[in-house]
Structure formats: C-alpha cells, structure tokens
Structure 1
Amino acid sequence: MQRFLTRGWLIQRTFRLRKRRLFLLGVLVLCLAPPAAAQDVLRIGVVDDQAPCSDVVNRSFEGSAVDVWYQVASRADLLHTFVALRKPDEAVRAAARGQVDLVVSCLNITPFRLYEAAFTTPYSDDGLSLLTRREQSSFATIIKNLRASAIIRDSIALLIGLGLGFALILWITSREFQHRDIVGDNKRATFYKGWMMLAMGTGIYKMGSAPLSMSIIALNNFVRLVITSIFVAGTTSVVLKVSKPVDISNAKDLHSALEDKIGVVSDSVAQAWLDRSADAFLTAEDQLKMIVPFDSSSAMVASLEQGNVGSVLADSASIATMKRKIIHPNDYEIVGETLYRTPQAFAVGARLDEKTLKKVNVALAQLKFEGEVDRTLKRWQPAHNH
C-alpha cells in the first residue's frame, strides 16, 4: 500500500514539473521572438494649386483626387501622411526618386512621364480647354455678323420664297383673292398684299374659307413657324455669340488664339502640348512671344483678367474651376477644346513595394467599378458650362 502511494506521488510530481517546464519554455519563446512588424506609413505627395483635383489650403489637403485616395486608403487599410508638392512634373520626378510613395492628383499619363515613373490603374480622364475673355460687340458688329450668317440669310430667303409659292397656289385655287380687305387697285397689288399677309401670318383668315384654301393656309403657317424658329435661334446665336468650342488641335484655330498670347502653367501637360503643336507653324522666337508660362494657375488667371494674355490653356476640369473663381465669370467663355482625352492616375514611387501597389490598384478598380470614383469627381466638378 505504501509503495502504491509513493508511486502515485512521483507521477503527480513529474507531471507538475513537465507543466512548469512547458510554461517556462513558452515564456522564453515569447521573449526571444521578434516584435510584430509595425505597418509602414506611406508618404503621399499632393500637388498644390491643381483644383479641383488637388490643392493645399491653410495646410489642409483637399480635392477630388485627395477624396479618391481617402477611399482607397480606407478600402486597402493603408496608413499615410501627406506631403505638399509644387507642380505635377516635379511631383512625378519626386516619385521617380523615391521621395514619396505615391503622388495624388489628376496626373495625365503621357509618354514623357512614363519614361520617369510608373502609374496606378487610371481612374479618370480629361482633355484641354481654352478660356478667353468674351468679346463685347458693338451694334454695327452685330449687324455685320447677322448679314454674314448663312442660317439667317437662308431663313429669310425661305420665308419669302415659300410664302410666294403658297400665295401662288392659293391665288390659283381660290381664283384670285376675293376679300375686300385684300383686293387692291389691280391684280398685282392684290396678289402682293395677299403674299405679304401669308408671309407675316396676319389676317390670313381673309384669304379663303374653302377646305382646300384653309388646308393650304394651315400648311403655310406650319412651315412659316418652323422657319421662323430657326431664324430666331440663329439670330440669338449671333447676337449672344452662343457657339460650341472649336477643336484647338486645328492649326488655324490654334494660331488665331496664339496671336493674342496664350498663358499656361509652366512644366504642365498644357505647356508641353502647346509647345509641340506650335512647332508645326511657329518659329522658336515666335513661341517665346506667344506662349507665356506662369508659376501657378492663380497668377495665370490674374494675367488673363488684366489683359496681359488673350487666353489660358489647362485641363478642362481646372479651366472650369478657374472660370467659376473669376470675379465676373460671365465675361469669359471656353472657346476651344481638344477632342481627345488623356487617362489620369496616381504616380507610383520607386520604393513602393508590389504588394502595396496591388492593394492600391485593386481598391481603385473596385471603387471605379462601384461608381464611387465618378460620384466623387462629379461632386468636385459640377456641370461643364461654357
């Protein structure tokens, strides 16, 4: 019996010793294990003075591209800190040197930028627009433009010609005009008076009561109303100069705008495009006179308001924002656009790892697919008004 008790006590003691050793071993492993790696904080460059895409206002980072990045960071669970950058091309070079992990703005993906840095999947696209001061026309100029308008000339000719045709048909079918208010001193005077009444649409009930005559008069009225509507629309367009922006890729239209000088932000896509387009018809000396670079969009718009340049060229979204910020926006109009659009994305820093880049691209693709990106861009860029 004593031997049995002693054996049981030895077994319990051995079990306790093993538990204690396992506990000590676990503590030792925890002490020697390396600490969990802290999540990296991404350095996100934000290009200043690129409203509505990106801007730095009182040390606050804002814009449509910044809001898109917030959504990406939330979706991909990424920590970040913002860094202000001056210009788009400088920002791309900063990414290429690894000074930032990503550059957030509406960066156009152009060939020369792709030589320097990689880009995320595109999330937007845009073209270029030309903003200029609206011309104040004199009365003599308006009359001259009215005379030069083909729509107005053709409308007047149709009103007179078709009125004459309907008057002849009505004259023949009614066996001349019989009403006493139309009959003149002779047949020629009677016909002329009836013709003018049809053309002007006044007193036409006096021109016949027979079903055929009334049908001819009704058809004449319908045609006259259509032509008159076209005439009024054409006149309004000429007087108010309501016209669609021209394609500034056309050398003739671009050269005409350059004669009054075009302002651009230096080291921008607008300047690169304008320099390249002007090479086809301007000497280097003329380009220096006609293409005026500025350090910022605010300085460029101020020069336009002061009349130092005739127009300014930038991304369409930026031009729309500039126009709204001008004190008297109705005094300015968008007169030219490029018909093509360039994809836009974030620039990728040289040191950003592939795993994080994939997270960013997947998040961007998801947000674009779900419509969140488009809703964000629309919130920052209202309807485009010329």
Structure 2
Amino acid sequence: MSLFLRSLLSHLLLSVAVAAMGLPAQAESLPVLRVGVTDGSQPCSFREGGIWRGLAVDLWSRIATEEALPYVIKAQPDTRALLQAVQSGEIDLAVGCLNVSPERLQRVRFTLPFQEGGQAVLVQRSRIDVGRAILLSLFSPDLLRLLGGFLAATAVVSIALWRIEGLGRQPSTERDGQRRSFARLFQILATGPGTNTVAQTTRGHSLVLVSYLIRIVSASLLVSFVTLNVVRQPQFGGKEAIRSIDDLAGLRVAARRGSVSEELLKKLNRAGASPPVRILPLQTIQQGGRLLLNDQADAMLADELQLEYLSGQLAGARLDRVLRGIRTESQAFALAPGLPEGIVERIDLRISELKRNGVVAELRRNALVAR
C-alpha cells in the first residue's frame, strides 16, 4: 500500500513540475506583437499627453488585455505608411479605422470589421451664403411653377363656380362690385374658410370639393418642396453648390495623406475632372478645420466619423457636413501576412464578441463625447 502511495505521489509531483515548466514555455512562445498606429486621426487614433487614445486604440487595448496578447506600439507617419509597414511585415498589426476598400483588400489582409463608415464633405458657410441659398430656393423656377399651377387651378374653379351659382347677379355683387366679389370668392376657395357659404347647387358643392382637393394636394407638394429644397438647401450653400462628388472639381479640398479620401480625389482627377481638384494633404484632422476657417480650403473630405468629431470640437464655427455616406465601407484592423492564424482567430472572435455585446458602440460614443 505504501509503495502504491509513493508511486502516486511521484506521478503527481512530476505532473506539477511539467505544468510549472510548461507555463513559462507557453508564455515565451507567444510573440510580442508590433502594433502600428497613426497620430492625428481623431477620434480613432491620436496621441495626447504621450498616451495613445481613440476608438481603435481603445478597442485594440481591450482585445489585447482580454486575450493576453503582449504588444508594443510603433508610430507611423500616415495611413499609407501604416499599410505599407503591415504589408511588408515591418509591423504585425495596423490599428485604426481602416477602410476595407476593394483596392486595399487585394493586397492587405484585414481582421473582422468592427464598424461601417462612409465618406463625407465638410464645408464652411457664412450667414451671407445661407441667406443667398434660401433666397435662391424660394425663387426657384420649380417653386414658382408649383405656386402658379395652384393659383391657376383655383382660378378655373372660381370662374366655373361664379357662373354655375350665378354669383354675378346677386345683390351683394351689385353692391360690392364684380371684381371685389370675385376676389373674395377666389380667396375663399384658395384658403378654405367660408367655403360652406359660396355654393347652393349640387354642381357648386362639387366644385367646392374639387377646390378642397386642389388645396390639400398643393399644400402637400409645397411642404415637401420647402422641406427638401429650402430647409435643406443651406447645408449646400458655400462658395460653390456641392451636391455630388463631381462638384468638388476645381475646388481646394483637404484630405489626410494616404487615406481613402485622398485616393477618391485622385480617382476623380484621373477620371478627367475639369478643372481638376486641388488636393491639400493633411497630417491631422485638425489641420483641415483650420484651413476651412482661414478660408484656405473650400472643402474637406474625410470619414464621416472624423468629421463628426471635428464639427463637435469646432461647435462655434459654421461648418456643415454634406454628401454624407459616400462610398460606405467596412472598417477593420490590418494584419501582416506572417501573423499566425491562431492569433488572428483569437482577435476576430474577440471583435465579434465585443460587437455583439455593444462594447464597440460604447467605445464609439465615448470617443465622440471625449472631444
């Protein structure tokens, strides 16, 4: 019996020793990941007081902590250099709100996307620009035609009702005059109050009903037109009317170096934009805001999330985001070709879990509030 106990104790001690030796060996086998980030890409990644912050940085820090992945941060000058470094294997992981564009997907490996994002245009507008845009909308040919159609239709119904009801022969008409009486009838049919007093015959009541239909249909069309073309018009009011990406031709447009925004502008120039877009390269998002406020740029093209952050920082300035949702794409981290699949799977699974639990959405809100 004692021999059996000694044998069992020996096996237990041996197992504990092997386990104790195996843990350091496993820790030593886990590589220290070289993580690349860029500064000036608020609210995704930026350096403040010597500390890296932002939505993407916080998300990666959460993943690395929960997965026990050791890493060291290596700063990169811009997005183009960041992607080149991860593609060449100089770094293992590129952290940022990197758009998974078709061009990038052909040469770079990405993690599971953690959010969707599109491009938008930021412009500055003065009070004069706003007033001019509203006046142009109010006196637009479409609005004038719509008003003219309503008045013409009401006039036709008024003439028909005038004749059917014989209003020209009534004593009130002889007393007030035909012109004034007809104007009163036209006003009643155009505005509504008093329509129950202008008709006595069945055909007359039918015409009153027709005038009611004309009035409500015209009112609906006018409200829709004003909402779409007058209320929303000022956001397009700037030095030039910007209603599509092609309207950036000939303008001074700021964009971050190596970003999807810069590539989109270059693509527009290659497509034959005349005159071509004058691209103003930016190192940081804040530089674009200063260029707009100093009238050194006509517009700024960037991720909608970045422009939302910048607009919040410059809340007192008259800056508007227009053309939202241009080329919406997924955003993810970029991976080096030689990064082990086991680590990639752990990162993807953790991203999926954090998205499902609402952590990514919370980090996004915090990044915008922290401005």
Q: TM-score, normalised by structure 1?
A: 0.75
Residue 317 of structure 1 corresponds to 305
Matches within 5 A, 1:296-311: 296-311=284-299
Partner of 1:95: 86
Q: SS where residue 368 of structure 1 aligns? A: helix
CA distance in 1, matches of 2:85, 2:48: 21
Conserved 8 A contact 1:46-1:84? yes
Q: State the 1:227 CA deviation.
A: 2.1
Matched, 1:42 2:33: yes
Residue of 256, 269, 282 corresponding to 1:265:
256
Using the TM superposition, give the Cα deviation of residue 57 of structure 1 relative to its aligned residue in structure 2, in angstroms.
1.9
Match in the other structure for 2:314 = 326
Whether the 8 Å CA contact 1:93–1:116 is kept in 2: the answer is no
Identity of aligned residues (%): 22
| Cα drift, residue 359 of structure 1 | 0.9
> In 2, are the aligned partners of 1:179 and 1:206 still within 8 Å (CA)?
no
1:160 aligns with 2:151: yes
- 1:1-386 equivalences under 5 Å are 19=6, 30=17, 35-38=24-27, 40=30, 41-114=32-105, 117-134=108-125, 136-137=128-129, 142-150=134-142, 152-176=143-167, 187=178, 190-201=181-192, 203-208=194-199, 216-217=207-208, 220-221=211-212, 223-228=214-219, 230-231=221-222, 234-235=225-226, 240-242=231-233, 253-282=244-273, 287=276, 290-329=278-317, 331-337=318-324, 339-377=326-364, 380=367
In structure 2, distance between residues paired with 1:51 and 1:25: 55
CA-CA distance at 1:314 after TM superposition: 0.9
| 1:78 Cα deviation after fit | 3.1
1:178–1:207: 8 Å Cα contact kept in structure 2? no
Q: Structure 1's 184 and 293: CA in aligned 2 closer, same or farther, altered over 3 A?
A: farther
Task: Measure, in 1, the Cα distance between the counterparts of 2:175 and 2:189.
Answer: 16
Q: Deviations over 1:199-258 (max 9, x none)?
A: 244554542467875665465345424423543554566555537879xxxx99445423
Q: How many residues align?
A: 360
Over residues 98-144 of structure 1, what are the superposed CA-to-partner deviations in whole Å (9 max), with x where a residue is unaligned?
34332221111235534653211222222221111125248677545
Q: TM-score, normalised by structure 2?
A: 0.78
Matches of 2:280 and 2:12, distance apart in 1: 74
- Deviation at 1:310? 0.5
C-alpha spacing 1:137/1:297, structure 2 compared with 1 (3 Å): closer
Query: SS in structure 2 opposite 1:194?
Result: helix
Q: Secondary structure at the match of 2:27?
A: coil
For residues 178 and 45 of structure 1, the distance between their equivalents in structure 2, rounded to whole angstroms, comes to 90
Preserved contact between residue 133 and residue 234 of structure 2 (Cα < 8 Å): no
SS at match of 2:97: strand
CA spacing shift, 1:121–1:94, aligned 2, 3 Å: same
Q: Deviations over 1:139-178 (max 9, x none)?
A: 677545433240x223312321231233244334533267
Change (3 A) 1:232 1:111: closer
Within 1, Cα distance between the matches of 2:42 and 2:168?
Answer: 69
Conserved 8 A contact 1:133-1:332: yes
Bigger Cα displacement from structure 2, 365-374 vs 60-69: 365-374
What residue identity is the alignment partner of 1:48? D
Unaligned runs of 5+ in 1: 1-10
